[in-house]
Amino acid sequence: MKRVNLTGFSREKLVAFCTSLGESQYRAGQIFSWIHGKLAPSFAEMTDLPISLREQLEEVALLENLTVVSIQDSALTSSRKFLFQLSDGARIESVYLPDSGRHTICLSSQVGCSLDCTFCATGKMDYIRNLTAAEIVAQLIAIQRRVEERISNVVFMGMGEPFLNYDAVMKSASLINDDKGFAIGARKITISTAGIAKNIVRFADEGHRFRLAFSLNATDETSRSDIMPITKKYTLSDCLNALSYYCEKSRRRVTLEYVLMSGVNDSDRDAGRLVSITRRLKCKLNIIPYNPIPGEVVRRPTEEELNMFVRKLLPSRSALTVRWSQGKDINAACGQLYTQIGRGTARKQMEETATAS
């Protein structure tokens, strides 16, 4: 009999599971607290459960415990990059980012990515598969076990496009938000998308309280499709319409992420169009200097080029931040996550793991 993975179960689903075992409903709350509050790695550690139940759980259920392959510490900041191996042999990266009293974790939602944005290393891996909700939450659990500070913020900005794994991402965000578990506030959980317009609308219609970020990165259709092929399916116009709908429906603002690349999207016309876009939306704007990745000739802007571009946006934008990514020296900065194996190697590794088990 295949064991069920309880790490991805909501409290409601755990109630149904416990009931199916002939147990009282309150056992579900205990199990949930052990998984997401006390971070128990095994059923044996759930000491307020009867021994007979713990033994039964070992037979019919399991917990998602990711294998930590390596941890890299930045010499420049306090950020740490974690390389995890999943049960099928696939690998993902997550990043811990402490800064000014906030302790943020950047989670991955897919193994690889299908979008192939020119400024992002993850796209060079190609898409391998979606992560389950259990695998997404397990990244947070594994990192929280290894850092002293309590994780305060979560961003879905790691490997993959979150809105192409929509259901698992929303499920994992809800688990992270649950007040009987990690209890991280919805306003401290940010989900980023490169522009899956239909799911921006769905996100608005479903009334999620998590923050939404949109990777803009170019201000016209042609330029954006050159660096972000997803634009050929969901145009910039489609995305801006969806974002306008989101802002009106949710009465919340969206964060626009703009990776600044020298000679690519930093012209006077880019600045003018960017101002027009920000005036159209209820939003804040993050300017992110490009983080170099292997094999790309795109150049990171100099500090002078960055300041010149920002001056063109002011004073028209008051909610503007220049975000210098942490972890550039360990390839953990925005756009740099990559597990150093291509599709063929990953597939082979997954097959070997499956055969061995």
> pLDDT tens-digit profile of 96-121?
999 888 999 999 999 999 999 988 87
**What pLDDT is recorded for position 187?**
97
**What pLDDT is recorded for position 316?**
66
Closest listed residue to residue 156, CA positions, set 91, 212, 236: 212
Q: What is the pLDDT of residues 209-230, one digit of tens each?
A: 999 999 999 999 999 999 999 9
Tokens encoding 88 = 């099928």
Distances (CA, A) of 94 to 69, 263, 348: 12, 30, 23
Show Cβ contacts of residue 162 under 8 Å, excluding neighbours closer than 6 positions.
109, 156, 169, 191, 192, 193
317, amino acid identity: R
Q: Which amino acids are annotated catalytic?
A: 93, 334
Contact at 8 Å (CB) between 92 and 108? yes
Coil, strand, or helix at residue 62? strand
Q: What is the pLDDT of residues 307-324, one digit of tens each?
A: 999 999 987 666 899 977
Show Cβ contacts of residue 44 under 8 Å, excluding neighbours closer than 6 positions.
54, 58
Contact at 8 Å (CB) between 193 and 224? no
User: For 351-355, what is the mean pLDDT?
Assistant: 44
Place of tokens 């099928």: 88
Cβ neighbours around 236 below 10 Å, total: 22
Closest listed residue to residue 169, CA positions, set 136, 200, 198, 216: 136
Q: How far apart are CA 103 and CA 357, in angstroms?
A: 36
Q: What does pLDDT average to over the chain?
A: 90
Domain boundaries, the chain: 4-62, 67-349
> Partners of 215 in the beta sheet?
257
- From the options 2.40.50.140, 3.30.230.10, 2.60.40.180, 1.10.150.530, give the CATH code of 4-62: 1.10.150.530
Cβ neighbours around 343 below 10 Å, total: 13
Cβ neighbours around 233 below 10 Å, total: 12
Coil, strand, or helix at residue 35? helix
pLDDT(332) > 50: no
- How far does CA 14 lie from the centroid of its chain? 25
**What pLDDT is recorded for position 51?**
97
Closest listed residue to residue 97, CA positions, set 89, 84, 106, 88: 106
pLDDT(347) > 60: no
Q: What is the pLDDT of residues 196-205, one digit of tens each?
A: 999 999 999 9
Cis upstream peptide for 315 (omega within 30°)? yes
Q: What is the pLDDT of residues 246-297, one digit of tens each?
A: 999 999 999 999 999 999 999 999 999 999 999 999 999 999 999 887 777 7
Place of tokens 């909501």: 10
Tokens encoding 157 = 């900005």
Q: What is the pLDDT of residues 141-195, one digit of tens each?
A: 999 999 999 999 999 999 999 999 999 999 999 999 999 999 999 999 999 999 9
Domain covering 67-349, topology:
TIM Barrel (3.20.20)
User: Confidence class of residue 353 from pLDDT cuts 50, 70 and 90?
Assistant: very low
Cβ neighbours around 339 below 10 Å, total: 23
Contact at 8 Å (CB) between 274 and 349? no
Closest listed residue to residue 258, CA positions, set 330, 321, 326: 321
**What pLDDT is recorded for position 175?**
98
Range with lowest mean pLDDT among 49-63, 87-101, 109-123: 109-123
